[in-house]
Amino acid sequence: MTVLQACEVASVDIPRFCYHSRLSIAGNCRMCLVEVEKSPKPVASCAMPALPGMKIKTDTPVAKKAREGVMEFLLMNHPLDCPICDQGGECDLQDQSMAFGADRGRFTEMKRSVVDKNLGPLVKTVMTRCIQCTRCVRFATEVAGVQDLGMLGRGSGEEIGTYVEKLMTSELSGNVIDICPVGALTSKPFAFKARNWELKGTETIDVTDAVGSNIRIDSRGPEVMRIIPRLNEDINEEWISDKTRFCYDGLKRQRLNDPMIRGPDGRFKAVTWRDALAVVAEVAHQVKPEEIVGIAGRLSDAESMMALKDFLNKMGSNNVSCEGNGISPNADLRPSYLLNTTIAGLEKADAFLLVGTQPRVEAPMVNARIRKTVRATQAKVAYIGSPSDFNYDHQHIGTGPETLLEIAEGRHPFCSTLLTAKNPVIMVGAGIFERKDKDAIFSAVETIAKSAKVVRPDWNGLNILLLHAAQAAALDLGLVSSPIESIQSAKFLYLMGADDVNLDKLPDDAFVVYQGHHGDKGVYRANVILPSAAFSEKEGTYENTEGCSQWTVPAVPTVGDARDDWKIIRALSEVAGVRLPYDNLEAVRARIGMVAPNLLHVDEREPSTVSLEMKPSVRHQMSHAPFEAVVDNIYMTDSITRASKIMAQCSLTLLKK
């Protein structure tokens, strides 16, 4: 423990610029100088180990004078940009020069200036403001795992930059905006849009992937202005992925704001809710119950999926499923579709086997944990799947199920690593759900888990890494029919925000209702459009990939005439004469509590009491097809990110091969 950390424990505040609790110690800003008894000079507290019997003085004239001197040097070349700087109002340099700086400077020479670097479409640089704290360099190297940033030059010519002219390509690059203590690195899309005291912050969660990162949505009036991370040690620490941070402009583009019906000429015409619901209810009664199919989208909350399932059940149909859960998903045992180790628990692992998953694009925050573990404990990582870009040491041991069989039969060199590991982890990608031979693959994985003692009373290292925010809750609530088979015979298809469903096999005379917040792919085939609220505009329960339930909180008002998903289905059920028995959110949640009570226990992870040995053995043939990448474009995975202009720029500039 260092002196600075000891002072933090004793709740004594010491100013600092370069020290950051999650990065290595650099000790180069010298702002944290304190007086230590028997030491001739002030000591940098961030780098000095705290020893027993040490007497530290933080508020003496010597310490104050040292800080004033350091602050004077820092402001020597710092431009007078505060009125036009985006960091104004939340700037460490402003705050600390007010609190610890002198009231005048003695520097009369010319200030130096530095050329701005182009780091891509997300991070704006004004390098003249940089105070060389090297936080961004350490973040890029240690957490993001890219050697993009570094220190160039000596003395007053020292500057931060990329060694050769290149963009910052990391999927976590936006976090340098948060850790930069001055206005040198700021958000490019948010530049000159608002001051931080004009914004209303709403603490909620992110739904663009299955991790459920904790975020704060800053809004002004009806518009989401920016998204920044919240601290949650168990899920995302204090980082978020670029997709989470910058997809917010998709929330104001291509929105559906009125109920619409497609006329005989093929064009949509805006109608009232009463007319739209009457048309849908009438058609629903004209088809046979088994021809009614409902599909929930990847951004659906638990409340809306519960309502959809109840409505379809009351209409006599059980064909209700969720995007991404594949062919007749196996939802009997909860551990067979969750990240059982938990995200924070991955830090205890010492060997990883990744099967058909690319965590760097599927769940960047889980990937950051794996990288942290590999750096801290030199854990071994083996990967089976299509060639992928990892930011830590790994062995690519195969591309398809044959390698998995070799490990299951004990013929592969990596078996010895798994057997000697104290806490081995096997992580299977949710892309396997879409394969015909998924049962055989899971059976092989369970064989490996048994032989390597991956599942024990004190450790569960068998994990499924889900892709979408709705998947875990859908499997908990029992949305488990096979969409592919039921679509072929469907005459009435209810798409609740489902845009990535393949509708090629849908009969031409089928009636399609699209309920969603964006005019995305699902709208092209729709006969009726019912506008709903996005995640930033409603209260909803989402369960992340480790089985932890969290709530979204409305940050901005809904767009146009849109309504919450479950309210639309509740209104439709009344028009259709099969009224659902709930009128408010509490009643819907009480109904969820009857089906899956774990969804109501917010921020709790309920461990499974059932062992996987209860699963019946499977005798399926494994195909030789290699595992394919599930995410083609990390920046565009759902209707919100596809509508986002910033995400389109990222796809264009950062994915150029």
Q: What is the tens place of the pLDDT at every residue in 574-591? A: 999 999 999 999 999 999
Determine the pLDDT at residue 256. 95
- Over residues 558-578, mean pLDDT: 96
Determine the pLDDT at residue 68. 95
Determine the pLDDT at residue 606. 84
Closest by CA position to 483, among listed 472, 498, 468: 498
- Over residues 410-431, mean pLDDT: 94
pTM exceeds 0.85: yes
Mean pLDDT score of the chain, rounded to an integer?
Answer: 93
Amino acid at 566: W
Query: Is the pLDDT score of 348 beyond 70?
Result: yes
Determine the pLDDT at residue 150. 94
Neighbours of 221 (CB within 10 A): 9
Determine the pLDDT at residue 160. 94
Determine the pLDDT at residue 506. 92
Query: Is the pLDDT score of 483 beyond 90?
Result: no
Q: Which residues pair with 35 in a beta bridge?
A: 57
* Helices (H), ranges, 79-216: 92-100, 135-138, 175-179
Determine the pLDDT at residue 197. 96
Query: Is the pLDDT score of 165 beyond 90?
Result: no
Residue 159: HSE in the Cβ half-sphere, 13 Å Cα cutoff: 17
Determine the pLDDT at residue 529. 97
Query: Is the pLDDT score of 622 beyond 80?
Result: yes
- Over residues 594-615, mean pLDDT: 84
- pLDDT digit string (tens) for 122-154? 999 999 999 999 999 999 999 999 999 999 999
Assign residue 174 a region (left: φ > 0; alpha: ψ between -120 and 50; beta: otherwise): alpha
Determine the pLDDT at residue 306. 97
User: Could you say which DSSP state residue 518 is in?
Assistant: B
Q: Are strands 459-460 and 455-456 parallel, antiparallel or unpaired?
A: antiparallel
Phi, psi of 288 (to 5 degrees): -70, 150
- Over residues 47-60, mean pLDDT: 93
- Over residues 419-429, mean pLDDT: 95
Assign residue 491 a region (left: φ > 0; alpha: ψ between -120 and 50; beta: otherwise): alpha
Closest by CA position to 383, among listed 358, 347, 354, 421: 354
Determine the pLDDT at residue 326. 82
Out of 102-111, 192-201, 342-351, which region has the weakest mean confidence (pLDDT)? 102-111
Query: Is the pLDDT score of 464 beyond 60?
Result: yes
Band of pLDDT at residue 193, cut at 50, 70 and 90: very high
- Over residues 522-550, mean pLDDT: 95
Query: Is the pLDDT score of 494 beyond 70?
Result: yes
Give the CA distances from residue 309 to residues 65, 67, 320, 478, 570, in Å, rounded to whole numbers and listed in that order.
68, 63, 6, 8, 11
59: burial class by Cβ within 10 Å (0-12, 13-18, 19+)? exposed
Q: How far apart are CA 369 and CA 391, in angstroms?
A: 12
- Ranges of beta strands (E only) in 221-335 are 223-229, 260-262, 268-270, 292-296, 319-322
Per cent of the chain over pLDDT 70 is: 99
Q: List, as own/partner pairs, every contact residues 577-581 make where C-beta atoms lie below 8 angstroms and the sequence separation is at least 24, other chains included.
A: 577/281, 577/285, 578/311, 578/314, 578/315, 580/307, 580/310, 580/311, 580/314
- Ranges of beta strands (E only) in 413-503 are 424-429, 455-456, 459-460, 462-465, 492-496
Q: How far apart are CA 416 and CA 318, in angstroms?
A: 46
Out of 349-363, 376-390, 497-511, 598-612, which region has the weakest mean confidence (pLDDT)? 598-612
Rg of the Cα atoms in the chain: 27
**Under 8 Å between Cβ of 31 and 70:** yes
Query: Is the pLDDT score of 657 beyond 70?
Result: no
Query: Is the pLDDT score of 21 beyond 80?
Result: yes
Q: How far apart are CA 45 and CA 56, in angstroms?
A: 9
